[in-house]
Amino acid sequence: MEQMIAIDTADGPMQAFVALPDTTDRAAALVVVQEAFGVNRHIKNVCRRIAAAGYAAFAPELFHRLGDGVDLPYDDLAKVMPAFVTLTNDTLLTDVTAALAATRAHPRVDAARVGVIGFCVGGFTAFLTAEKTDVAASVVFYGGGIVHERPGIALKPLLDDVDGIASPMLLVFGGEDQSIPGADIDAIQERLANAGKAHTIVVMPAAGHGFACDERAAFHQPSNDDAWRITFEWLNRHLRETPHG
């Protein structure tokens, strides 16, 4: 089942796309955090993939302060940046916290088994969510800006706050991602390991940034398929098998 729902936030209502699994049981769930392009066809298809695997999926519209249904083109960054630069750590946390609450309150969801998965800026948001909320598990796909501040972008790096992480995290990167070099991945690994945080880092050697999006030129089918296999195996261990609350 698919539907759009409205979620209350401190900055007004936020629409979210919801895809539910074909079961009458209360399911584990994921808040699915968009790329910089909106809750578009790709993100809705990600939600459908997650629902087909037995999880409920909730994708909040992070650009709701600019209007409902913001859908930006992959091939025209000049149209993307005015929306992207409005995002801050605080607004992302406001939105994902509200999305987590709405997901947990849904009658088809087991509130004790709600995680987050995000892509690109959504990956950054998933890392932030792990640090600042009691989310049960987090999956970070090629989250940029975690290590270094980026010029002209309001988002602040996250490595100084990893002590707040209290649940397992899976991080998936592309070995050919020019925007997230190996040195950044190494820095994330070192910081999480030194802090004693449960985490798994996977690097897909032939993949670039955005490799899991079939709407982008960077899409790499073998890496995408392998990354999703790893992701669902990891989620089944860390989220689906968590005891009911």
Closest CA to 84 of 95, 75, 92, 93: 92
| Cβ-proximal residues to 56 (8 Å cutoff; 6+ apart), any chain | 18, 19, 20, 21, 27, 28, 29, 30, 50, 103, 106, 108, 109
Marked catalytic residue, from 42, 95, 106, 120 = 120
CA-based R_g, the chain, Å:
16
Whether 209 is a known active-site residue: answer: yes
Marked catalytic residue, from 42, 64, 106, 209 = 209
Marked catalytic residue, from 95, 110, 177, 184 = 177
Closest CA to 69 of 46, 40, 27, 94: 40
Whether 120 is a known active-site residue: answer: yes
Buried (b) or exposed (e) across 51-72, using 16+ Cβ within 10 A? bebbbbbbbbbbbbbeeeebeb
Whether 213 is a known active-site residue: answer: no
**Distances from the Cα of 12 to the Cαs of 64, 99, 129, in angstroms?**
8, 13, 20
Query: Catalytic residues, which ones?
Result: 120, 177, 209
